[in-house]
Amino acid sequence: MKTRVRSVVSAAVLGLVCGCSSAPPPAPEYPELLEYAPRHKSADAPVAQPASASKSTAKAAPENAPATETPSQGDGLRKASRPPIELLTNSNATYMLNFPESEAGKSAQEECQEAGGDRGEVNACLQKARAKIPIESLRFVKKNGEYWWITLNRYKGNLMKWHIIQFQVGEEKTDWVALRPMGKDKGIAPMARVPHKLEIELPNDFSIVMKDPEYGKLAFDAKIGLFDDE
């Protein structure tokens, strides 16, 4: 028994002397997952795993497990919390044109950069393209049971009601609504032809995308409290 104890102690001492007590932990299989990991994560954010772990997890999942929700499009924020027409006709909401995120703005950015020149020349080119769209902001107002689409634009330094058009609510989905303008344009710069249909996407509570018949898809950001009730 004493001989056996001496052997164990000798082996431990020998391990400490030669530095071979245990092997170092293996390097991570995918070091790039650590290098590019975000500093802050939400409590329910999925944790990145190596391919081998992902496969084993997939096998363990039951066949009737519900599919994960597909992320919403647009700016990545949550989807609209209320029906589109309720959000649009919020009495305190004004939708300001986001030209860089609109189709016309993205096209102008490419064209102005391809034309060359310094930063000032590129900015002047972009401002010229922006000035072609006579829209600064939109409002959708519900008053006395009637719906009105109002386009605002600046004229000699003042924000004027460029277009004032009554509409009816057409087909409505979770994040999309069709408006059906009717009657004449009562604004200071009436449209020669009022569109028969206006399609609006609502990717979230804070922005909309309007399909304009002339300028394509125009992006707008919601601002609260800029105007009183109409």
Length of the chain: 230
Indicate whether this model's pTM tops 0.75. Answer: no
What DSSP line would sit under 20-36, residue for residue?
A: -SSPPPPPPS-HHHHHT
Please say if the pLDDT value at position 36 is more than 80.
no
Please say if the pLDDT value at position 27 is more than 60.
no
For residue 206, count other CB atoms closer than 10 A to its CB: 19
Of 114-128, 194-208, 212-226, the poorest mean pLDDT is in 212-226
Mean pLDDT calculated for residue range 137-161: 92
Of 3-17, 113-127, 193-207, the poorest mean pLDDT is in 3-17
pLDDT digits (tens, 9 = 90+) for 85-111: 999 998 788 999 999 999 999 999 999
pLDDT digits (tens, 9 = 90+) for 121-145: 999 999 999 999 999 999 999 999 9
How far is it, in rounded angstroms, from Cα 82 to Cα 88? 10
pLDDT of res. 155: 85
Q: Label residues 24-50 b or e (16+ Cβ within 10 Å = b).
A: eeeeeeeeeeeeeeeeeeeeeeeeeee
Of 6-20, 137-151, 165-179, the poorest mean pLDDT is in 6-20
Question: Which run of H or E residues covers position 164?
Answer: strand 158-172
pLDDT digits (tens, 9 = 90+) for 190-201: 998 999 999 999
